[in-house]
Chains A and B, each alone.
Chain A
Amino acid sequence: MTTVARTEEGTDSPYALSHLDSLESEAVHIFREVAGEFENPVILFSGGKDSIVMLHLALKAFAPAPVPFSLLHVDTGHNFPEVLEYRDRTVARHGLRLHVASVQDYIDRGLLKERPDGTRNPLQTLPLTEKIQSERFDAVFGGGRRDEEKARAKERVFSLRDEFSQWDPRRQRPELWNLYNGRHAPGEHVRVFPLSNWTELDVWQYIAREGIELPEIYFAHEREVFQRAGMWLTPGEWGGAKESETVQKRLVRYRTVGDMSCTGAVDSDALTLEQVIAEIAASRLTERGATRADDKMSEAAMEDRKREGYF
């Protein structure tokens, strides 16, 4: 492959947008379409980098007016404290309204049972769908990207869900040009993915370009971890190392932020955004392959969860 940097720069006119400008403009267009077509949209906000970028784009799309959407956090109860703190600070700073759908609450009420492996990611679907129904959200923004996983690669930007939040990949509406069809019946809703065409690297470059603040666990730090299924997990309220597993101090960072019980850290000394970007550019593993135990379950793990109403 050629590595000569852009010797033929002249091939693009001055009107050609950079790839980040192009992706940003597309995402802003999607946010504004939803604002124009739906009654009660909500942004899924976990405090992870993708949801943080979504919120940043929404703020830009409607400035100087406030964001015309509320936020929804599906709280597994296994949160990184740094991320919860970031979430609350962000909500306060922008004067946003935050809804929380709590997995712990469903477990306490006996509506959900803890899984033997302790992971709570699959348990998020029920609180999420019931919150969507009870709050009558008609558009739900998710930070899913098509480059993440192959079932997601077939996802539409506007993805219709029935009253049970189910996704039927065979009944997807073709999306032509930039004409998004958000028609839905009462009780149905549309999942909207403004970052569909972004890659992990695009997200990081955009964070760097825009100077967006992130929870500190995205950068290298010393942390007590133990190894399980090839990933570094942090002990916490959710549980900890079994007898056969040893806890040790390591320099790590997180590439994704999710449920503590199944989100793994990676060995890293990347302290700055530039170092993170360099690390990702050189990485030979996808972020899900490196850090998500739940996606390793089967070839169709994500497709199955998506059909049931997962993000």
Chain B
Amino acid sequence: MSTITTEELSATTLLRFATAGSVDDGKSTLVGRLLHDSKSILTDQLEAVERASAGRGQEGPDLALLTDGLRAEREQGITIDVAYRYFATPRRRFILADTPGHVQYTRNMVTGASTAELTVILVDARNGVVEQTRRHAAIAALLRVPHVVLAVNKMDLVKYEETVFAAIAEEFTAYASELGVPEVTAIPISALAGDNVVDPSANMDWYGGPTFLEHLETVPVSHDLAHCHARLPVQYVIRPQTAEHPDYRGYAGQIAAGTFRVGEQVTVLPSGRSTKIAGIDLLGTPVDVAWTTQSVTVLLEDDIDVSRGDLIVPSKDAPPTTQDVEATVCHVADAPLTVGHRVLLRHGTRTVKAIVKDIPSRLTLDDLSLHPHPGQLVANDIGRVKIRAAEPLPVDSYADSRRTGSFILIDPSDGTTLTAGMVGESFASPEPVKDLSDDDGWDF
């Protein structure tokens, strides 16, 4: 297929990003404008929203109704869940995880941020950095989202003053770098008036940076892979056992991090056996090198025992295996997580039995205060946990590898997803948290 349309559109890259915030910040207006101005809202969707808005006695179309898909959400006028939106420009395709911003929805924000390469934090220019802003910044920092955008909204209500924007940007950037956020891009916008969202503002000559959409279109979507630890969790063993392929034995998986090459010496964990990569099959095409996030099938030189749940790594860069995992977690289930809880731990493609040995602290994201020994974590709590696994696990630090440094805890009795975990230190910088040792940890 060689027409310009197909090639141009399919050559674009994909950016997954997240927004967190409430209607008050103008988030729905921003998302609505982005979708509307990139022509991603189609006539019948807009008509449905206009009908529903009119039915509620609202004047203009309420663009929040586009994403609030569930009956309960529309009835209550809030976003409960993560809403995924899709739009495209000639440069790039976008998947937006739109999440509610209030503290009782921390788990939804964490979910949205877990796959995001960029997160948008909205502030109202009149209010500046508030508690919610700090919480959103902390979530972005905890989840190691590579790019953070501070959208200073409602600039029209502060007369487009540069000093207002500069003060907010400075305060936020200082706070974010304290948390170890590697990159903050601050953009002054008015979602309502359209300034710097898609088109450059005529009201802020002093701003020389990209518009919001330009930034989304040009921010890099992959890291410098040379510095990543290569990791391939084995999902499935492909053995056709047919006349045509009597001896084919391929290890199928999606490369979680880094690159693999044919001829490379690799080790299979947790067994620790080593061999060389004999071939890499990229969905029907033999290749010499493959990288994250490609789904591949790897052929090994020696016939060693490899099965689902194993991790293939370069022999020279293997992670240590351990049964003791220390992590920062976000509790996502309604029932609490307690010390002594017997759980299943899912890491990569491996699921093992585990027990919660200790919950040393709970963290309040609004002010980063630390509450020692809370005894339990309830829904939306962030805390530190110590877990003992029944088998050794090849875990990376989440800071090094988001995919092989993360895990979930599952309730073995009913299969509920309990907790999202990130191995290692909470923040990239020296812990910025305030240890409130006097606190009894039960103030929620």
Contact = CB atoms under 8 A, between A and B. Distances in A.
Given A11-B220, A184-B415, A274-B6, 20 more contacts: A1-B213, A2-B214, A2-B217, A6-B12, A17-B293, A19-B93, A22-B13, A26-B254, A28-B254, A29-B253, A32-B235, A33-B235, A33-B349, A154-B82, A160-B415, A183-B344, A185-B414, A197-B86, A199-B86, A281-B9
B338 to A, nearest CB: 19
B325 to A, nearest CB: 15
Interface in B194-222: 198-199, 213-214, 217-222
A94 interface: no
Majority DSSP secondary structure for residues of B touching A: mixed
A18 B12 contact: yes
Which bracket fits the contact residues of B? 35 or more
Given A211-B1, A303-B70, A154 B83 contact: yes
Contacts of A199: 86, 88, 93
Interface stretch (A125-133, A173-181, A244-252): A173-181
Interface of A: 1-3, 5-6, 8, 11-13, 15-26, 28-29, 32-33, 35-36, 60-66, 146-147, 149-154, 160, 169-170, 172-179, 181, 183-185, 196-197, 199, 201-202, 205, 208-209, 211, 273-274, 277-278, 281, 283-286, 289-290, 299-300, 303
A144 B43 CA distance: 21
Interface in B51-77: 52, 66-72, 74
B114 A176 contact: yes
Contacts of A64: 238, 240, 242, 244-245, 248
B9 A205 contact: yes
Given A28-B283, A64-B242, A273-B1, A176 B111 contact: yes
Nearest to A182: B415
B261 interface: no
Q: Most B CB atoms within 10 A — which of A18, A153, A209, A283? A: A153
Given A154-B69, A181-B408, A60 B283 contact: yes
Given A29-B254, A36-B308, A285-B43, A201 B5 contact: no
A152 B81 CA distance: 12
Interface in B406-423: 406-408, 410, 414-417, 420
A29 B408 CA distance: 18
B13 A17 contact: yes
Contacts of B81: 154, 169, 172
Q: Most B CB atoms within 10 A — which of A20, A22, A65, A152? A: A65
Given A23-B14, A24-B283, A177 B84 contact: no
A22 B5 contact: no
